[in-house]
Structure 1
Amino acid sequence: MGALSRFISPKAIAVIGGGTWCENVVRQCRDTGFTGPIWPVHPKKTELGGLPAYPDLASLPGVPDAAFIGVNRELTVTVTAELSKMGCGGAVCFAAGFSEAVSELADGAELQAKLVEAAGDMRVLGPNCYGIVNALDGMALWPDRHGMAPVERGVAVIGQSSNVLINLTMQRRGLPLAAVVAAGNQAQTSMSDLGIALLEDPRITALGLHIEGISDLPAFEELARRASDLGKPIVALRVGSSQQAQAAAVSHTASLTGSDAGARALLKRLGIAQVDTPTELVETLKLLHVTGGLRSSRIASASCSGGEASLMADMGEVAGVVYPPLNAQQSDGLRAALGPKVALANPLDYNTYIWGDEAALTATFTALCDAELGLGCVVVDYPRDDRFEAPDYDQVLRAVAKTGEVTGTPMAMVSLLSEGLSEAVAQRALELGVVPLCGMGDALRAIRAAAEVGARSGDNQRPAPVLQPLNGHGDPRVFSEAEAKALLSGFGVRVPKSQRAMTATEAGVQAEEIGFPVVLKGEGIAHKTEAGAVVLNLTEARTVTEAAKSMPAASFLVEEMITGTVAELIVGVTRDPAHGFVLTLGMGGILTELIRDTVSLLVPACREDVQSALSDLKTGALLTGYRGRTPANLDAVIDTVMALQKLVTDHAEALHEIEINPLICRAEDAVAADALIRMEEQP
């Protein structure tokens, strides 16, 4: 664990402060099983949490490896400097009132900078955080209750909300939590630093993240690379999906991206699974702990109820898992195990004929679990353990475990309701190598997430570093369409032949020079169709002039009419300070925001990723010849996207957003029929 190892796995601990929080830390360390010395420090108290207290740091009998600083924010800086000077390994800074409170405290950011300076080479966690619980080594620099118990191996979770982490430690779903760390303000030590340190511990099997924001993008990319090198998966629960798109955006693209799209694109790019709820995080971590990630989302399901089989089918389709049809070998094996009365399918209702027959259950589950599956699932909810004994249900658990041993297929028990698998049952399942998944909906979404991780685990190709927005020089301006297209053309994007006209009469003259039919557009209007500032398929100079006179514009753009359209796409890029430049591909034209069929990537994206993203669109089949129609020139489409990315890379310091909408995709080429650029002036 490198420089953080002393801090995370200390031999001696100091607790500085005298309030209830500090007393709790002393008690939590003792209750969690810490066997090293704990040194409370307080200038007046002689005892704290049942241990003798020292009046100051200079009086300690040794140098602590880790410390909990539970004093006010100003004194926290002073104590941090003293600990650093004496050679302490790291300190939890509990106090608030630093950069997180700049709207209330004018000196918050300044005080945080002083804290970092005072720490020097010593690691600082926070400020404004609860700290660390390390159940592997029985250490809890944690000022409140937690629900963790000693484990020999398990998963780690890092978050920015101490209360969310407390609640996660109270889970009763059998998740083996090895370490929980609250990162707080990340003034010096980031989630990425902590994640790498934890994953390098051979006892940590997987990492969960609760992310409110990514402060250091290159460090986060390094975390993903290190996790991949170690073969340990990461799953993230990120908040912020409800935030509105950038307020200053004027393009369709920006209304379709924003920070959530950027975050999702980043996590996918880095091979980190993303979940949407805390319960999905817990269930996914259980899967990752046992399996390391599923090789696919192709699963089989068995239950003794047709209703459960139907629910698995319906909910699985929504969650994004696949139930492949039974092959001949599976069907033959199931028929031999179940007899002629059971209808064979996947998901399977094996009925109740074999209930209580452990050998028959094992034979059934073994026949169902084909070697190509990502996971085998058996649906079962145990009866209430406060009212019933259930030895026959334990037969199912043993049969599931035996199936995993015989077939090599990862196996899971899935309960309909979250309480259908008690904590005791879940722990027994884990001991047998079976994943206990609590609650059918959470389980199926967790399976999809674990398959996303597994699909990337064998990929030796590393994505290029994300292009980061550079500091600009001022406020951006919206380029005219003619300016935007000229810039695009300079990077190899095909644009229509066009001429600018300052009067309606001049527009008619320009149309004759270009050749009919033409398109007339009013300049300086972002959404031209809605404003009545675009007219298509004009075939005479007179009609061009008349159309120009009726437009709410002072100048005009006359362009060749592009015909032979196969499909219309939107291709755009927006600046996302937290995640780089977000590249959005989707159905274009006037229905872009209504249909909202888009996929987001981060710049730079390779040709293969762009092609894959286009195929992921619901309307992507239009590009490849839907129902016998003429296909678009896909290479030309991808060439356009790559050229646009080159433009973004060359103007990363000034570009805020760029959009081609529509990109008219034809059998012979792809043409940028309309374009918008918002960019700062460059010196």
Structure 2
Amino acid sequence: MRRLIAPRSIVVVGATDRPGSYAAQTLLNLQRAGFAGGLVGVHPRRGEILGVPCRPDLAGALEVLGETADAVVVATTAATVPDYLAEAGRLGCGGAVVFAGGFRESGDLGAEQRLVAAARRFGLPVLGPNTSGLVSARSRAPLWGEPVMLPAQNSDRLDDGIALVTESGGAGLLALAHRQAQGLHTVVSLGNAAVVDTPAALSILAATEGVRAVALYLEQIPDGARLATALADCARADVRLAVLRTGRRRAPDQVLDALLTEAGAVPCREVHQLLETTRALARVRRTSKGIAVVTSSAGDAALAEDLAGDAGVELAELSETTRRNLTARLPRSAVATNPLNHTTHLWADSSTLTEITATVAADPGVGAVLYVQDEPPGLHPEDSAEWLATREGARLGGAREDVDVLVVAGMPGQEPVGAVSGLSSALAAMAQLRSPAPDPQRLAKIAAVAALEPGRRPASRLLAEHAAKAVLDQAGVDVLRHAVVPLPDKDRGDEAAATAVALAAAQIGFPVTLRLSVPGAGSSPDTPSLSSGDKVSLKVSELLAGASDLDVVTRCDTAFLVEALARPGVPLTMLAHRDGPVPALTISLGGGWGQVLGETRTVPLPADAERIAQAAASLPGTSTADLEAVGKAAGRLARLFVEGGFAEFRVTLTNGTAVRAQARSLS
């Protein structure tokens, strides 16, 4: 996609000057943006449209260019698209943008399959169909069917290194209109994503010069292995991520959310937050130190302190030396604290604010500074200069100490040029940038495991509990001391079975629990403890009566499961499963507390004992659990699940010992 995403030569197929058409608007966008590369149209009869030379076919257009085109915009009807794509691929073009609808989104899957076949025949990257387009701000190339106005080339509103990958054309329109496209590097609207999908776009942007952060707008759940690979690409390049995922209530996916969290993606709730969080991510270096907030408003300082707590951002505790040096420079009405309100007495005093911000930035506990300032729009230039001088002093102070100063406006619509709009967005980004960077090797391992998933999930078979525990035992997971006594044939008496089970119980040591372990039934209900051989014999008779209707095949794999009692402890349920885009382990409290609290933690697989224990520790009610033992056992379960042929494996652990187990094997 490198040529398509930063084109130097463009052909617009279906060129026209008809007002409101995507082809005409694309030509106008390119001209207004000052695209400096080659631009030719394809029209069957006209030699020029809107000042752009035209030829009747793609081959003729390339002759005018004198080279093959990096990007081909196909603005024709759906029926003609596959042939144009095949020709573009045959002629060696870099890629294509297809505006037309009338494919899968309208029910015509065959039309989309023909488009995909034409593209894949020549390895041609295609955006769409049904896309709003692609905008490369750095190349001044808005291949977009709606009006786009990029900042002037000499503008201070240029490129912050923010890219957007969106599965919604509407979100792309909002991004391009938001603050006059300030800071945007690239916008990719995927449309139907028939050829180029979210993982493909994300991977190429991670390798694109100048991209520092990517906003993801997701409507669908991507292929897990390819998404994890793309996230690993971003982690290697230190390209930061913010994500807005729609349909979460209709189709929740904790596994996808957990995967994105491991990749360091900051979750967002609406488009404004998505764009501004991405802007903040692009602006500040990672730091493990605390954050300082500087402002001229007591209200902003108080609000920033509250919101920092909500976001989990640690505000730096200023040292005594820092406070003393600040007091010497601040007005008498100001107090040397963090957040710091320097008051309006220093308004437009750039030199003093440079000293104050430098003093804060030099504190050993400060890793970054947020300078909070709103600037009302439409100010007289003389008034605006005062706002600029105030925040410029803060910026220079941070630069002197090589500490990032992020200007933040609290009120949308009152952002100074280059500032982040919204304290919540800025602080969400800072929370992520204070966390350890995502691990590309771990993400690559998740991708490798997900790539082994069967394309079509085969049917599964529910093992009997005693069989599941045997598998756990072989994998090194501690299980309760137990005995397995086969179910007798129907023609044998109950007495022999009762004797065998009672003997097994005596060898384990009373009290014990006893239940029937039946394939296809999962874990049996909990049973009261039995304190003697006589009670065991009575329970055997009761269980045999209930098993009288089992068929011959099921009886062969059914057994009495006699177990020692579990030591008291906090039960934790570990569910290894393949119900999301990647295999994962979902952790919850076992028993009634798990049902009451309803909280879970999800860890993509593979995962080691330490990672699982950390996830379990974040659940309420686990403070007294033996998390080291739980992590060790769950780590072995995770490895067993990844390497074995299981669709699902559920284990309840108490003190690291498997108390209950249920497994579905892939048949």
TM-score bracket, normalised by the shorter chain, equals 0.7 to 0.9
Displacement, 1:572? Answer: 1.6
CA–CA separation in structure 1 for the residues paired with 2:23 and 2:181: 30
TM-score by length of 2: 0.83
Q: 1:650 to 1:58 in 2, by over 3 A?
A: closer
The answer for the alignment partner of 1:519 in structure 2 is: 513
Residue 361 to residue 528, structure 1, CA distance change in 2 (3 Å): same
Could you tell me which of 563, 567, 572 is aligned with 1:564?
567
| 2:437 matches 1:411 | no
Listed as ranges, the gaps of 5+ residues in structure 2 are 489-493, 548-557
Segment of structure 1 superposing worse, 274-283 or 75-84: 274-283
Taking structure 1 as the reference length, the TM-score comes to 0.82
Q: 1:553 to 1:352 in 2, by over 3 A?
A: farther
Equivalent residues in 2 for 1:502-513, closer than 5 Å: 509=502, 511-513=505-507
Alignment match, 1:253: none
Q: Distance in 2 between matches of 1:355 and 1:557?
A: 82
Deviation of 1:171 (Å): 1.2
Contact in 1 for aligned 2:287/2:367 (Cα 8 Å): yes
Rate the CA distance shift 1:616–1:633 in 2: closer, same or farther, 3 A.
closer
1:80 corresponding residue in structure 2: 85
Structure 1 residue 673, shift from structure 2 partner? 0.7
Match of 1:535 in 2: 527
Partner of 1:492: 476
1:638 equivalenced with 2:636 (yes/no): no
Q: How does 1:554-633 map to 2 (within 5 A)?
A: 554=547, 558-576=561-579, 578=581, 580-623=582-625, 632=626
Deviation at 1:607, TM superposition (A): 3.7
Alignment of structure 1 residues 328-477 onto 2, 5 Å: 328-338=320-330, 342-352=334-344, 354-355=346-347, 357-369=349-361, 370-385=363-378, 389-421=383-415, 425-427=416-418, 436-452=419-435, 455-456=436-437, 464-466=445-447, 467-468=449-450, 469-471=453-455, 474-477=458-461
Amino acid at match of 2:577: T
1:627-646 CA-partner distances (Å, limit 9, x unpaired): xxxxx371x32331222122
Distance 1:52 1:357 in 2: 56
Query: Would you say the 8 A contact 2:512–2:531 is kept in 1?
Result: yes
Taking the TM superposition and a 5 Å limit, the aligned residue runs for 1:262-341 are 262-291=255-284, 293-296=285-288, 298-338=290-330
Q: Structure 1 residues 28, 459: closer, same or farther in 2, change over 3 A?
A: closer
Structure 2 CA distance, aligned partners of 1:594 and 1:296?
Answer: 36
- The structural deviation recorded for 1:166 is 1.2
Out of 176, 179, 183, the position equivalent to 1:176 is 183
Indicate whether 1:657 and 2:648 are aligned.
yes
- 3-state secondary structure, aligned to 1:591: helix
1:222/1:36 CA distance change after superposition, 3 Å: same
CA RMSD of aligned residues (A): 3.5
Relative to structure 1, the CA distance from residue 181 to residue 339 in structure 2 (aligned partners, 3 Å threshold; closer, same or farther) is closer
Q: CA 1:616–1:477 in structure 2 vs 1: closer, same or farther (change >3 Å)?
A: same
Question: How many Å separate the matches in 1 of 2:301 and 2:86?
Answer: 62
Asked if 1:89 corresponds to 2:72, the answer is no
Alpha carbons of 1:655 and 1:180: their partners in 2 closer, same or farther (altered >3 Å)?
Answer: same
- Write the letter of the residue equivalent to 2:214: L
User: Deviation at 1:542?
Assistant: 5.4
Question: In the superposition, relative to structure 1, how do residues 472 and 130 fare at CA in structure 2: closer, same or farther (>3 Å)?
Answer: closer
What residue is the counterpart of 2:217 in the other structure? 210
How far 1:618 sits from its partner (Å)?
4.1
Match of 2:164 among 144, 157, 165: 157
- After superposition, the C-alpha distances for 1:103-149 in whole angstroms (9 at most, x for unaligned) are x235255334433345x133322222222111112212211123433
SS in 2 for 1:283: helix
Read off the aligned partner of 1:417 and give its amino acid letter. M
Whether the 8 Å contact between 2:517 and 2:561 is mirrored in structure 1 is no
Give the superposition deviation at 1:350.
4.3
* Structure 1 residue 574, shift from structure 2 partner: 1.4
2:357 and 2:398 in contact (8 A); partners too: no
Shift of 1:664: 0.2
Q: Relative to 1, partners in 2 of residues 1:154 and 1:546: Cα closer, same or farther, differing over 3 Å? A: same
Match of 2:661 in 1: 675
Secondary structure of the residue that 1:236 maps to in structure 2?
A: strand
Report the equivalent of 1:432: none
Offset from partner CA, 1:477-524 (integer Å, 9 cap, x none): 322222222222221211121446869986773644532222345656
CA contact (8 A) 2:523 2:660 kept: no
Measured in 1, the distance between the counterparts of 2:440 and 2:196 equals 29
The answer to whether the 8 A contact 1:175-1:285 is kept is no
Residue 672 (structure 1) shift: 0.8
| Local SS of the residue matching 2:366 | coil
Name the CA distance, whole Å, in 1 between partners of 2:307 and 2:90.
58
DSSP-derived class of the 1:378 partner: strand
Q: Which residue of 2 aligns with 1:54?
A: 55
Q: Identity, % of aligned pairs?
A: 23
Cα 1:557–1:395 shift into 2, 3 Å: farther
Aligned AA for 1:57?
L
Residues in 1 aligned to 2:662 and 2:523: alpha-carbon distance in whole angstroms = 11
Q: Distance in 2 between matches of 1:547 and 1:279?
A: 64
Aligned AA (2:606): P
The CA deviation at 1:387 is: 8.2
Q: 1:36 to 1:305 in 2, by over 3 A?
A: closer
Q: Would you say how many aligned residue pairs link Structure 1 and Structure 2?
A: 628
Deviation at 1:557, TM superposition (A): 5.3
Closer/same/farther in 2, CA of residues 141 and 177 from structure 1, 3 Å limit: same
Residue 466 of structure 2 corresponds to: 482
- SS of residue matched to 1:535: coil
1:111 aligns with 2:118: no
Secondary structure at the counterpart of residue 335 of structure 1: helix
- 1: CA distance, partners of 2:387 / 2:326: 21
**Structure 1: tracts of 5 or more residues without a match:** 246-258, 428-435, 624-631
Cα offset, 1:272, TM superposition: 4.3
What is residue 551 of structure 2 aligned with on the other side? none
